[in-house]
A = this chain, B = another copy of it.
Amino acid sequence: MIEAIGNQYVVARPVYSSNTFGEEFKKADRQHKTFLDHLKGCCSCSSQKAKKIALSLFPIASWLPAYKIKEWLLSDIVSGISTGLVAVLQGLAFALLVNIPPSYGLYAAFFPVITYFFLGTSKHISVGPFPVLSMMVGVVVTRVASGGNTSPELSSSSMENDSLDAQEQEKIMVAASVTVLSGIIQLLLGVLQIGFVVIYLSESLISGFTTAAAIHVLVSQLKFMLQLTVPAHSDPFSLFKVLESVFTQIEKTNIADLVTSVIILVIVFIVKEINQRFRNKLPVPIPIELIMTVIATGVSYGFNFKETFGVAVIGNMTLGFQPPITPSVEVFQDTIGDSFGIAIVGFAVAFSVASVYSLKYDYPIDGNQELIALGISNIFTGAFRGFAGSTALSRSGVQESTGGKTQVAGLLSAVIVLIVIVAIGFLLQPLQKSVLAALALGNLKGMLMQFAEIGRLWKKDKYDCLIWIMTFIFAIVLGLGLGLAASVAFQLLTIVFRTQFPKCSTLANVGRSNIYKNRKNYADVYEPEGVKIFRCPSPIYFANIGFFKQKLTEAVGFSPLRILRKRNKALKKIRKLQKRGLIQVTPKGFICTSDGFKDSDEELDNNQIEELDQPINTTDLPFEIDWNADLPFNITVPKVSLHSLVLDFSAVSFLDISSMRGLKTILQEFIRIKVDVYIVGTDDDFIDKLTRCAFFDDEVTDSIFFLTIHDAVLHILMKKDYSTSKFNPSQEKEMKFDFTINTNGGLRNRECQVPVETRF
């Protein structure tokens, strides 16, 4: 029991090194699970476990039987119809991003919902087309199916419809194949339970990436708004190439399309702003997109815009479904990288939106099951000529805000899409493509507003800001697929950066108790003489061990290796002196008579006397002493006032092999010049790991570990006291040239070693 005595921190206990502490407090026997145990745990099978897995694979089996028809059905129906209408429009609009005819967007809005109904764990998201994903698929379609599309004559009216059709079929094929492949990737990730990969997409990265995607969407929709023929461009730099194409033929703009789309864009923006500002007063948001579509379709039909102004309309909606297609393995090979990106981004978006609702309504979602659900949905959609889906935040918002309680609402929204596909799709035929483009752009405001993030991030964390900016630049310049890969790599690099140049500091005692703080931060500090306390506030590994060593050398003010060398050189000279008979050996040590002393070079001798005539520095004997060799007196060796070095490793969460080797070298160098090194603040695992890696030997022993800085400092002071009290100042003057070294213990066990003494 610990008792609080007023507001006082009172402690009285022995000084503990890790070893003495370990002796006093026995560790509990703890069975650590081995890798094999974990594997066994994973692979063991019981009927209960099997049932649980089966249930988790089909979440519908859990929630549908518990469906409260009376309470939920009505709101699900209302929500389903609203969501369905939004899904139809978004499907059509986002199909333009994929560069395929709008009607295929309806398939993308229909099929995934069906499978998700059975397999999904989120009750509120509306799966289906998502602009960023559509854009990513569109990039692949442009690249792989471009064929001769880059040549301008392809788009000229002289081309036959057949060829255009064939090209369109190829595009649809590519989109479907990419969708299937990304679905397969998602399914695999889900089955292998590695859905956690999305945690590598940090908030800053997603923000920067979606902003760049919005710019891509904006640029890609220009051609529909201006009704221009822009050849396909492939990454990198596709954005700039497209912009160039647009501006070089800006005079060919179809004014009718431009005017329509600008009007619609302005109205949509204004009404969305109203929806936003009065969201508490409005019962439901004004379905402005639906209204505009209906009006635009009516006007276009009524005034026969297609003929009158030559605008591009949706045209020819195939009623009903088309037979499934086999995805192309060739396309798979070409697009594996892009598909991986699509799979990851699609899942990341769906999962983050689902998480928001699962938190809000307090129900669990399962990341890996979501991956499986999305994967199968995409495979299914791709097989029926749709394109990759995830969820659009705006559409999910509609589903939730209009009262959707379960995926029954999703299913009903799919029914609405189904009705459009099989029955009333033809009504949309006179709708201008530019209207769809404007509607797609209407969704971008939120994404583009994210530019404001830069300022916020800069104030808070430079690295996060850098991630945002670099992700944005990568995604703009390299394109969405490659840009995402580069961004993730860059982001991981920042984690390394953050730890690579740690703010190492020298600590000192503040307040004369057990508190040690950065010496530079406090005016009144106490540093025990000859003791340096050095703190490294980050893990140490291959990329910063050099930096650590450099900072440590700066902090102590000398390179231990150089000292060691100078001492060894000194030792060599001493050996020479002995050979010349200038040094005598006594049983207790070595005596250099003043006679022998005078024989050697006078000038250097004086130097030597000055150097050695310093009784305080008894510990820093100027040579690594080999007791078969002998006395010095010809050399200057730099003074080292340091006798103990305390390394505060409480924030060093790991060491790798390189850093371990480096650390050992550092410790050895210090120990060899008689500087005692103590490591404090590590946890037990740390020491265990070092032991396992054969870190310790005769020089560097595991007795260097102390529990806290204060323990180590007290130990040092005590040892110091002991050694100075044994030192007799009266002897000093009498035996001025007596040079004694006590050999007890040697270096083997520094703990119980009587300090090395040198007297002159």
Q: Mark A residues whose CB is within 8 Å of B.
A: 1-4, 6-16, 21, 24-28, 30, 199-200, 202-204, 359, 362, 457, 459-461, 463-464, 489, 492-493, 495-496, 498-499, 502-503, 509-515, 517-518, 520-524, 526, 528, 537-539, 541-544, 546, 561-562, 565, 650-654, 656-658, 660-661, 681, 683-685, 689, 692-694, 707, 710-711, 713-715, 717-718, 721
A8 x B4 contact (CB < 8 A): no
Main secondary structure of the interface of A (DSSP, over half): mixed
Residue from the set A10, A362, A692, A718 with the largest chain B CB neighbour count within 10 Å: A10
Q: In the assembled complex, how far is the CB of residue A676 from the closest CB belonging to chain B, in whole angstroms?
A: 15
- Please judge, given known A-B contacts A13-B511, A25-B522, A28-B522, whether A656 and B202 are in contact too, CB under 8 Å: yes
Q: Which residues of B are found within 8 Å of A26, using beta-carbon distances?
A: 522-523
A204 x B658 contact (CB < 8 A): yes
**Other-chain contact of A543, B200, B517, B654 (Cβ < 8 Å):** B200
**Other-chain contact of A460, B513, B693, B715 (Cβ < 8 Å):** B693
A492 to B14, CA, bound (A): 43
Q: Which residues of B are found within 8 Å of A3, using beta-carbon distances?
A: 717
Q: Which residues of B are found within 8 Å of A539, using beta-carbon distances?
A: 495, 498-499, 538-539, 653
A515 x B15 contact (CB < 8 A): no
Q: Which residues of B are found within 8 Å of A660, using beta-carbon distances?
A: 460-461
A27 to B522, CA, bound (A): 5
Q: In the assembled complex, how far is the CB of residue A549 from the closest CB belonging to chain B, in whole angstroms?
A: 12
Q: In the assembled complex, how far is the CB of residue A543 from the closest CB belonging to chain B, in whole angstroms?
A: 5
Copy tally for this chain in the complex stands at 2
A199 to B13, CA, bound (A): 44
A476 to B219, CA, bound (A): 42
Q: Which residues of B are found within 8 Å of A492, using beta-carbon distances?
A: 489, 492-493, 495-496
Q: Which residues of B are found within 8 Å of A543, using beta-carbon distances?
A: 199-200, 202, 495
A455 to B164, CA, bound (A): 61
B499 x A653 contact (CB < 8 A): yes
Nearest to A718 among chain B residues (CB) is B4
Nearest to A359 among chain B residues (CB) is B561
**Other-chain contact of A685, B459, B503, B515, B565 (Cβ < 8 Å):** B503
**Other-chain contact of A199, B460, B498, B521, B546 (Cβ < 8 Å):** B546
B4 x A521 contact (CB < 8 A): no
Q: In the assembled complex, how far is the CB of residue A267 from the closest CB belonging to chain B, in whole angstroms?
A: 36
A11 x B11 contact (CB < 8 A): yes
Task: Give 16 A-B pairs besides A204-B542, A362-B561, A499-B539 with Cβ atoms closer than 8 angstroms.
Answer: A1-B526, A6-B718, A9-B13, A10-B12, A13-B513, A27-B521, A27-B523, A28-B520, A28-B521, A28-B522, A200-B496, A204-B657, A362-B562, A460-B692, A461-B660, A492-B495
A717 x B2 contact (CB < 8 A): yes
A18 to B337, CA, bound (A): 50
**Other-chain contact of A25, B16, B524, B537 (Cβ < 8 Å):** B524
A653 x B656 contact (CB < 8 A): no
Q: Which residues of B are found within 8 Å of A713, using beta-carbon distances?
A: 2
A653 x B9 contact (CB < 8 A): no
Q: In the assembled complex, how far is the CB of residue A15 from the closest CB belonging to chain B, in whole angstroms?
A: 5
**Other-chain contact of A658, B28, B202, B502, B518 (Cβ < 8 Å):** B202
- Please judge, given known A-B contacts A498-B539, A717-B2, whether A30 and B460 are in contact too, CB under 8 Å: no
A99 to B522, CA, bound (A): 65
Nearest to A710 among chain B residues (CB) is B9
